[in-house]
Structure 1
Amino acid sequence: MNRRDFIKNLGLTGAALTAPCAVINASPVISEKPGVANITLKGRIHHNGSGIAGVAVTDGMNITLSDKSGNYTLLSNKAAEFVYISVPAGYAFPHQKGIADFYKKIDSSKSTYNADFRLEKLETDDRKHNFVVWADPQMISKKDAEVLVTQAAPDLKQLVSNYPAGSLFHAIGCGDLVWDHFELIEDYKKAVDISGIPFFNLIGNHDMDLDARTDDYSARTFKDNYGPTYYSFNRGNVHYICLDDVFFIGTAKRYIGYLTENQLQWLEQDLANVKHGSTLVVSLHIPTFTGVQRRNKLKEEEIGGVVANREQLYKLLAPYNVHFMSGHTHMNEKWEKDNMIEHVHGTVCGAWWTGPICTDGTPEGYAVYEVNGDQISWYYKSTGKPREYQLKVYEKGRLKTAPDAIVANVWNWDPKWKVEWYQDGVLKGAMEQRVDFDPWAVELYEGPAMPKKHKFVDPTLTDHLFFATPDANAKNIKVVTTDRFGNTYSQELAV
C-alpha cells in the first residue's frame, strides 16, 4: 500500500497522518442539550435610518423578508445560534478587518432577541464586480503563516490595485483556512486584513473541532471566528451561496462530503427568492464532483473527496446558471454540464507549503473572477507571477513516460480552450491531450523520502497536460493557448 492509498483509506485526501497532541489528549466536547423553547427574533435593516425592504433574514432554518420599513420578525427556537442576513445587491459588505460581518449571535436567555443591521449603499454600480477564491491556505506552523502573510496576501493586494480605482472586489476563503491549529486563525485574519478586501469564509475539514462528539458541534471554533457555516449574499445580478459540505463522523480526521437536510431545506427557501435563470455562485470546500475516480481508475469514489448527495443539490439548482467554487484536492480542474460548471481550485499553499506547485503542477495561487451583469469570466493568478503566466512548457525528455515529447501544463484548461504548437515558426496544429503526471511535480514529490517537509505528498494525475513530438532537427518550439474568452497565452522553448 503506497502513501496515497493509505491516505485515501482514511478518507483524507491530502490530510495530515496524525492528529495534534492537543486533539488526542482532549476530552470529548459534550454539549448541553439546547433548549427547544420558542424565541422571537426582531429587528430592522436600514441605511442611515431608512428601512430597506425585501432583505432575506434567517436563523439558519427559516427565512423571512424585511417589510417596506425594513422591519422583520422571525419566530425561531433556542437551538438557533445566529440571526443573519443575505446582504442585498447595491450595498457594501459589512466586515471586521476583512472578515464578513453579516450576522448576530443570538442571546437565547431571552424570549425575544432584537438585532438591527445597518448597511451602506455602494457608490458604484455593482453589476460589474470581481471576486477571488483562496482555496486551502492550510497553515500548520508559524513558518507557513509567515509565507501567507508576507507573500500571498500582498500578492492579492497588488492584484486588486492593478484594477481601476473603485473596482469592487470580494473574496471567498474556500475552507481549510488553517490546518487544525486554531492558534493560527489570527494569522489568517491578518492576511485577510492585508489583502484589503472583504472575505466570506467556508469551513473545511481542517477547520473543525476534532474533539466534538458529532458533526453538529464540530464547527464551534469556526463559528466563533467567522459566523454561520452556510449563508448567502448578493452582488449585482449574481446570487452567492456558501455551504458546509464537510460532515464530521465523530472521530478525529474522519469526514465525508455531504450536505445535511437542514441546509438543503434552508437552500430551498433561499432560492425561492431568486429568479429562475439567475447566475449563482455556489461555494463549498469539498468539490461536488471531480475526475479523480476516472483518472485513477478507481472502483468507487473517495468518500471524503466529493459530495455524496450532490444529485439532490443539482436538482435544486437546475433552474439557474451555476458556478461551483471548491477546493480541498490541492489540484486545479473544471467540469461542465448543462447549466453547471465547477471550478476546483489549486491552492494558496500549493502542496501544503512544500514547494511552489500543487501536486498536479498548478502553481500555488488563486482564481480571479470578473463579473459583468450575468456573465462571469476568469483566470488563474499564480502567486508572484504576472497574470499572463498561464502555462509551463517542459523540454523533451523531462517526463519519463514520454521521452520524445515536449509537455505543456495548461492548469486552467477546460474543453473550450485551444492548445496549439509551432515548430520553428510553423503551426503544427493542436497538441495531444493525455492524462499523466506533471514532470516537475514528479521531481518534487515522488518517492518515499520526498518531499522532506510532508512525506505523504505525491504527484497526482491530471487532465491538463498536452503533448507534441518535435522533429529531430527542430530548433524552437512555441506553445500558444487560447482560453474560452479569446485570451491568448504562449511560451517558447529552445530545443
Structure 2
Amino acid sequence: MAESERSGPSRRDVLIAAAAGGAAMALAAPAGAAEASAAAATSAAAATSAAGVTGVVFESASGAARQPGDKGLAGVLVSNGREVVATDSDGRYTLPVSDESVVFVIKPAGYMTPVDPVTQLPRFHYIHQPAGSPAALGLTFEGIAPTGPLPASVDFALKSQEEPKAFEVVLFTDPQPESDAEVDFIREDVVDALAGTTAKFGLTAGDIMFDDLSLYDRLNRIIGTIGIPWYNIGGNHDFNFEAPGRKYSRETFKRVFGPPHYAFAYADAVFLMLDDVEYKGTNPAKPHGAGAYEGRLDPDQLAFVKNVLAAVPQDKLIVAVLHIPLQNYLDDQGPDVNLTNRAEFFALFEGRRFTVSFSGHTHTTEHHYFGEAEGWPSPVPHHHHVLTAVSGSWWSGPYDHRGVAVADSRDGSPNGFHILSIDGNSYTTRFVPAKEPNQRQVRLSVDSRFHRADKEVKRDFRPGQLLSSPIALAAVPATTIIANVFDGGPKTKVTMRIGKAAPIEMTRKTMPDPFVEDVFARNEAVKKPWIKAEPSSHVWVARLPATLGPGTHRVTVEAVTEYGGSVSGTLALEVA
C-alpha cells in the first residue's frame, strides 16, 4: 500500500466519528473470502481503488442482505487493516484501499455478523483483489480467485443480540493436525468434550494446521459442530510457503477465514486478533519446504491496534490474541519464539489497566507478567498466558482406548484447551485437560535415587508407576515429591501435607517433569522425532520428611492458582 493511500482519517477524526455514533465498540482488520463478503455490492457500478471503498453498515432483520427498512448503524468501526473509521449517522463509511485489500467491519458489542451455518466461521469482510493471488507464485493450496472491480457499495450486515457482561470463551491453540488421522484425534479428544458448551464463541490462536492447508475444510466442519461462532488467526504452519515474504503468505488463510488480523467486541471486552508471524521465505534447511519466520507485528498491524484503541474507552477489557508469545521460558531471546518488537506493541497500551493476552506456538503452558521494568506502560502489570496446545506434543505418544494419541506436552501438561471467563473488565481462565481423570489439574510423582537404581535392574513396575511407591524406608530422606500444577505460574503457591501433619511449602523449580521424560523414553516408536521433555515452568518439589515412618501415607498437594482459586492432588505413598 502506497504511503499516500495510508493517509486516511486522523486519530482525532476517528474519535469524533465514534462519539457521534453509538452502535457499540468493535475491532477489525484485513479480511479474506470474497464469497463471504459482508452482504456486499448493492450496485453493479464499479468504483476505482483510487477513489477508495465506501459502503453502509446496517442493522439487518434477517441477518443477511439488506432489505427495505434495514437502517444504517452509526458509530460502527470499519477498517482496511490499517485505518479505522466510524460510520456516520446513516451508517456510511469511506476508506482508502489498494488493489489488494481486505475491508471489514469490527463487530460492535450487542451485534453479530453473519456466520457460516456449517463451519460457524464469522463472515465480516470483503476481499478486494481484482487479479486474485498471483499465478506466478504457484501456490500448492488454493488462494484468492480474482474478485473483479470494486463494487460501488460494500455493505456489512449486523444483527442485534443480547450479550451478558459475564460470559465464557473457548481458547484453542495449535490443534495442528498433519493428517486426516490427526483431525480424527481433534474430533474425539476436544470437540466431543465441548458438546453442549455455554461458551459464547471460541477461537484458535494459530497453527490450525501442520502445513497441509487442504485439511482446513474438514476441520472447520468438525469445529462447526460445537455450535458457536469460531474466530481464527494463523500460525507458522498456516503459511503458503511459496510466498517470498509476508505478502501473499496468507492467501489460503484469507480465502478460508478472512483477514489475517482483525478485531471484534463482545459485551465489555474487545478482542485484538493479531498475526505476529513474520514470514521470511522458504528455508531449504527446514523439512517440507517450511519457511523461516520471526515473531513480529508489521507496521500496518501496529497502526491498526493504535487506531482501534483510540476508539475504545479505558474501562474496557482488551484481549490480545497472537500466535508467537510475547516471551517464553524455553528461550527468551529466540526471534522465532518471542515477539521481537514487543516494546512497540506495549507502547500502544499506555495507561490501560484492563488487559490480557494469549498465545500458543511453544506447546508449553506459561504465565508471564510484564511491569514497568519490562517496558509495560501502565501501573497494572500485563498478564500474558501461553496456552496449552490442543495437540500437546504434536500428537505424539501411545494411543488410548479410543486410538487417540496420549500427546502429553513436553513440559508435562496434558494436551487440552482453556476456558476464558470474563465478567465486565475482569477475567479468569481454567485449563481443561483432554484425558486426565476427573479433569485432574495436578499430577504427583515420587522421585527417588533408589527408584532410579530399580529401573536399571528392570524391576517389574507397572507402566505409569515408575515414579510412584512403594519406596524403601531407607530411601525416604532421598525422596522428592514432584507436583506438576498443569496451569501453574509465578503467582501459584503450593503446599504438601502428609496425613494430618502441618503443610510443607513446596519450591517452584525449573526442570523437566520426570513423568513425561519417562513416558517419552518408553514410547520412542510413536513419538515425533524432535520431541523431548523440556524444562517446565510449573513444577514444584519438596523432600519427604526424614522422620516419615513405614506404612501407607496420604499425601495431599494443594495449589492456590494464579487467580486465587484452589486445585489439589493426592497420592497414597507406601513406605516399606
Q: Please, what TM-score do these two structures have when normalized by structure 1?
A: 0.85
Letter in 1 for 2:227: G
Deviation at 1:173, TM superposition (A): 0.7
Q: 1:367–1:111: structure 2 CA closer, same or farther, 3 Å change rule?
A: closer
Deviation at 1:168, TM superposition (A): 4.7
- 1:444–1:451 Cα contact (<8 Å) kept: no
Which stretch of structure 1 is more off in the superposition, 60-69 or 372-381? 60-69
Deviation at 1:451, TM superposition (A): 5.3
Does 2:392 correspond to 1:372?
no
Q: 1:156–1:268: structure 2 CA closer, same or farther, 3 Å change rule?
A: same
- 2:59–2:160 Cα contact (<8 Å) kept: no
* Alpha-carbon distance between aligned partners in 2 of 1:63 and 1:387, rounded to the nearest angstrom: 46
* Alpha-carbon distance between aligned partners in 1 of 2:549 and 2:74, rounded to the nearest angstrom: 71
Q: What SS does structure 2 have at the residue aligned with 1:331? A: coil
Letter in 2 for 1:308: T
* 1:136-164 Cα distance to aligned partner (Å, 9 max, x none): 00001111011112221111225x1xxxx
Q: 1:492–1:248: structure 2 CA closer, same or farther, 3 Å change rule?
A: same
* Alpha-carbon distance between aligned partners in 1 of 2:508 and 2:293, rounded to the nearest angstrom: 34
* Alpha-carbon distance between aligned partners in 2 of 1:429 and 1:47, rounded to the nearest angstrom: 61
- 2:206–2:234 Cα contact (<8 Å) kept: yes
* 1:30 aligned residue: none
Does 2:395 correspond to 1:348?
no
How many residues are paired up? Answer: 445
For structure 2, list consecutive stretches of 5 or more residues without a partner in the other structure: 1-47, 62-69, 131-147, 283-289, 372-380, 398-405, 453-466, 468-476
* 2:526 aligned residue: 452
Deviation at 1:107, TM superposition (A): 6.1
* 1:435 aligned residue: 510
Q: What SS does structure 2 have at the residue aligned with 1:462? A: coil
- 1:326–1:343 Cα contact (<8 Å) kept: yes
Q: What SS does structure 2 have at the residue aligned with 1:436? A: coil
* 2:498 aligned residue: 423
Does 2:158 correspond to 1:119?
yes
Give the aligned CA root-mean-square deviation in angstroms.
Answer: 2.3
- Equivalent residues in 2 for 1:372-411, closer than 5 Å: 372-385=423-436, 388-397=439-448, 404-411=479-486
* 1:32 aligned residue: none
* Alpha-carbon distance between aligned partners in 1 of 2:422 and 2:113, rounded to the nearest angstrom: 17
Q: What SS does structure 1 have at the residue aligned with 2:479? A: coil
Q: What SS does structure 1 have at the residue aligned with 2:195? A: helix
* 1:28-71 Cα distance to aligned partner (Å, 9 max, x none): xxxxxxx9744323223323213222111011132111122222
* 1:437-460 Cα distance to aligned partner (Å, 9 max, x none): 11222113359x835341111111
- 1:277–1:319 Cα contact (<8 Å) kept: no
* Alpha-carbon distance between aligned partners in 1 of 2:439 and 2:264, rounded to the nearest angstrom: 31
Letter in 2 for 1:156: L
Deviation at 1:382, TM superposition (A): 0.7
* 1:358-407 Cα distance to aligned partner (Å, 9 max, x none): 10011110111111111101110011447752111112439969961010
* Alpha-carbon distance between aligned partners in 2 of 1:336 and 1:425, rounded to the nearest angstrom: 35
Q: What SS does structure 1 have at the residue aligned with 2:502? A: strand
* 1:208-263 Cα distance to aligned partner (Å, 9 max, x none): 00111221011001111000011110011111101111111111321111111111
Q: Please, what TM-score do these two structures have when normalized by structure 2?
A: 0.73
Deviation at 1:183, TM superposition (A): 1.8
Does 2:159 correspond to 1:128?
no
* Alpha-carbon distance between aligned partners in 1 of 2:562 and 2:387, rounded to the nearest angstrom: 18
* 1:11 aligned residue: none
* 1:336 aligned residue: 369
- 1:38–1:77 Cα contact (<8 Å) kept: no
* 1:164 aligned residue: none
Larger Rg: 2
- 2:520–2:527 Cα contact (<8 Å) kept: no
Which stretch of structure 1 is more off in the superposition, 188-197 or 234-243? 188-197
2:184 counterpart (146, 154, 158) = 146
* 2:470 aligned residue: none
* 2:328 aligned residue: 290
Letter in 1 for 2:557: V
- Equivalent residues in 2 for 1:1-40, closer than 5 Å: 37-40=50-53
- 1:94–1:101 Cα contact (<8 Å) kept: yes
Q: 1:113–1:389: structure 2 CA closer, same or farther, 3 Å change rule?
A: farther
* Alpha-carbon distance between aligned partners in 1 of 2:418 and 2:175, rounded to the nearest angstrom: 13
* 1:98-123 Cα distance to aligned partner (Å, 9 max, x none): 21221122364435542222222213
1:101 counterpart (90, 107, 123) = 123
* 1:54 aligned residue: 75
**Overall identity of the aligned pairs, in %:** 26
